[in-house]
Amino acid sequence: MQLSELMSAPVVTAGAGETLKVAAARMAEGAIGSVLVVEGDRCIGILTERDLLRATAEAASAESPVSDWMTPDPVTLPLTASWNEASDVLSRLRFRHIPVVDDSGKLAGLVSLRDLMKVAYLLATEQREPGVPIEAPPGLDNVAVSRTSVGDVQGQQGFYHYRGYNAVDLALRGTVEDVWHLMHEGDLPTDDQRAEFAARARDARRPSPALLDVLPRLAVLQEGMSLAKMVPAMAAAGQVLGCRSWLDQTDDETREQAFSFAAQAPVLAAALYRLGKGLEPVPPHDNLDYAANYVYMITGKEPDADQVAAVERYLILTIDHGFNNSTFTARVVTSSGADMGSAMASGMAALSGPLHGGAPARVLQMLEEIGHPDKAEEWITDALSKRRVLMGFGHRVYRTVDPRADALHEVATRFGGDTLAFAEKVEEIAVRLLNERSPGRGHYANVEFYAGVVLEQAGIPRDMFSPTFGCSRVIGWTANVLEQIADNRIFRPLAHYAGPAPPRPLPEWWSGATTARA
């Protein structure tokens, strides 16, 4: 199949001198991911959604010319190229859109990753027998399982966003309530909306007496505080809030339940922690916003400005991160028609695994095992030779610096101290040794590496590192659950059976239960 059969034509174009505002409007109107920049009948550049996000992140004016932000002289494909050739180029160069030109170099159309995915699906479904699954890579690597407008991670660029806004910029300038409003309502709040939303959040964060009565029994189920304790707490909250299948209640009821979970998650986490220590829970403070109130409910003391800023930055940075394991889990559970409490409990259960949400405290444990900066190289070399996992390094999506790690490192430097200096030394050595062993793979510290340093500096006990992560993610999970409900189709993948060929005859020696009972 040649590109002339599957490309989009005619294409949406813009002139190099037109503004970003005009180009963005054309993208939105056509529901497309790029515009081709033309001069006459020649393609001289391409402007994609990524370029618009980059421009937004760098505070570019909407009146800036397209030429300032486009990719000039883009890679093109000839009309005679095959589907396989186009697929290879898109995969190898990690592009999403490539202009198509005729023999004279005149623009003929555009081929996108979406076009090729449609063809791949058709080819796969035409060539396979009914019931035979399309093979997917282990862990669903690079497989898009749904569409979302909540947020996205662009691993090659080291960038992620919430509804188009740079998440790091939001963390540096906003509050948890601001981003919560963005995730649930679709945009950042005005000043009036911010005050109204914060007041509503304060009202919603007081759990009912029935739920508070359950917490002491959950707190003593195991020693210490962990995300595992939050799983039954989320399920219990769902029961107390009257959560039913979203199929059996109104959209307004479901949205209100989502809001309540986001408001009450930090209250439940702090109460479980204190009860596990033999202390009385600290009720929410009427005059403190989300981040400050969270620290207050854990410690019983009003935090200072530096503590609040550090915790707030961390919470905002971890609210959402694409279709990560726990977000995907919550959406899968929701797709069955399950209630909000079940979805939140399932997300918390997925996050409790050390490969997902349990790493921040383990980073500090690793530093303690190393003991001293002078021993770091020897310890890390030995750990790598024994194939031990270095906690806080590497990521399934990022192939460059994790922007969350950079942001948290900046927060940590405001506190300073020996632990930070120690962590920086370990990071330097670990990154060097990892890249020496696996050159070209791009090894860097991830969000968990400096998260532990920041949270400890801010006065959060280690037992509460992962629950703190869970509390922020509830905001992202609920936004994703609401989106799943709005356009639901139950997840029902197939599996490639790799066991003995069926049907197997029953062995002669096996009498079966029926004979045994006789």
The CATH number given to whatever domain includes residue 306 is 1.10.580.10
pLDDT at site 226? 86
* CA pair distance 284, 212, nearest whole angstrom: 13
Describe the chain by its helix, strand, coil percentages, rounded to 5.
55, 10, 35
pLDDT at site 294? 97
pLDDT at site 125? 55
Q: What are phi and psi of 296, to 5 degrees?
A: -60, -45
* CA pair distance 352, 226, nearest whole angstrom: 8
Q: Are residues 244 and 275 in the same domain?
A: yes
pLDDT at site 119? 62
Helix count and strand count (H, E) for the chain: 22, 10
Secondary structure (DSSP) of 216-263: HHHHTSSSS--HHHHHHHHHHHHHHTT---GGGS-HHHHHHHHHHHHH
Give the domain extent around 96. Answer: 3-137
Can you say whether the dihedral through the CA atoms of 345, 348, 352, 353 is positive or negative?
A: positive
CB atoms within 10 A of CB 50: 18
Q: Are residues 281 and 408 in the same domain?
A: yes
pLDDT at site 399? 56
Mean pLDDT of each 10-residue bin along the chain, 518 residues long:
72 92 87 88 90 82 91 88 76 80 88 70 56 69 85 81 94 96 97 95 94 93 88 96 97 97 97 95 96 97 94 95 94 97 97 76 84 89 83 64 83 84 86 78 75 89 92 97 95 85 91 62
pLDDT at site 396? 59
In a domain, 263, yes or no: yes
Q: Are residues 205 and 335 in the same domain?
A: yes
Q: Are residues 43 and 122 in the same domain?
A: yes
pLDDT at site 234? 96
Q: Are residues 245 and 382 in the same domain?
A: yes
Beta bridge partners of 109: 100
* CA pair distance 317, 240, nearest whole angstrom: 30
Residue 302 DSSP symbol: P
Q: Are residues 122 and 171 in the same domain?
A: no
Q: Are residues 209 and 124 in the same domain?
A: no
Q: Are residues 127 and 255 in the same domain?
A: no
Pairing of strands 13-15, 34-39: parallel
pLDDT at site 132? 57
pLDDT at site 223? 85
* CA pair distance 471, 311, nearest whole angstrom: 12
DSSP, collapsed to helix, strand or coil, labels residue 333 as helix
Q: Are residues 268 and 127 in the same domain?
A: no
Of 137, 172, 188, the residue that ends a domain is: 137
In a domain, 155, yes or no: no
In a domain, 371, yes or no: yes
pLDDT at site 28? 83
Residue 76 DSSP symbol: -
In a domain, 510, yes or no: no
In a domain, 513, yes or no: no
* CA pair distance 285, 40, nearest whole angstrom: 64
Count how many domains the chain has: 2
Tokens of 31: 């529901």
pLDDT at site 147? 87
Catalytic residues: 395, 448
Q: Are residues 165 and 115 in the same domain?
A: no
Contacts for 249 with CB less than 8 Å, ≥ 6 apart: none
In a domain, 261, yes or no: yes
pLDDT at site 217? 93
146, burial (CB in 10 Å: exposed 0-12, middle 13-18, buried 19+): middle
Pairing of strands 34-39, 77-78: unpaired
In a domain, 509, yes or no: no
pLDDT at site 67? 92
Q: Are residues 39 and 166 in the same domain?
A: no
Q: What are phi and psi of 499, to 5 degrees?
A: -90, -165
CATH of the domain at 107: 3.10.580.10
In a domain, 512, yes or no: no
Q: Are residues 385 and 311 in the same domain?
A: yes
